[in-house]
Amino acid sequence: MKRLPLFLIVVFSTCWAMPLIAGHHKKGTIDVDMPYVRTPVPGHSMTAAFLTVSNTGEQGCQLTGASSSYAKKIEFHTHQHVDGMMKMRPVDVVEVAGGSSVAFKPGGLHLMLFGVNHDETSSTEITFTTDKCGEIKFSAPIKSIKSQHSKAMHH
């Protein structure tokens, strides 16, 4: 029996370790906390997702895009007052400075999901692409706002 070339052994051991790394929310210096996707209003194919992105490293990172099997397209949006009205504006990149965090929350910065895949109903995986921090994959539950409100009222 021939010995395997060294590079093949390296490739195999890297593949073996991949699921362990992918199962964790943390990649490089970027952490994703409390992600969730708002259940779309019946009959609508658009919705929003919210989460907090933290950068525990010293170097700043830019989020350059987001994708998911749950949506055909995902954009970064922010809310702005324009002529006394709240309007959503697309944002190309989201800067997360070293040692800081950025909140995507209702009424502020959010992920806008277009062309929702109604087959996925309980959770989905979202991937961020970044300039210097690699790809960040995380799982987000799909939740209705109603259930959140009733939870909040118990407090």
Binding interface with Cu ion (CB under 5 A): 77, 88, 112
In whole angstroms, how close is the CB of 66 to Cu ion at the nearest point?
13
Q: 49 or 133, CB closer to Cu ion?
A: 49
Rg (CA), the chain: 19
- How far is it, in rounded angstroms, from Cα 155 to Cα 27? 34
In whole angstroms, how close is the CB of 123 to Cu ion at the nearest point?
21
Asked if 142 and 122 count as a contact pair (C-beta separation under 8 A), the reply is yes
Asked if 21 and 127 count as a contact pair (C-beta separation under 8 A), the reply is no
Q: 75 or 120, CB closer to Cu ion?
A: 75
Comparing CA positions, the residue from 38, 68, 25 lying closest to residue 145 is: 38
Q: Which residue is nearest to Cu ion (CB)?
A: 77
Q: 71 or 133, CB closer to Cu ion?
A: 71
In whole angstroms, how close is the CB of 1 to Cu ion at the nearest point?
59
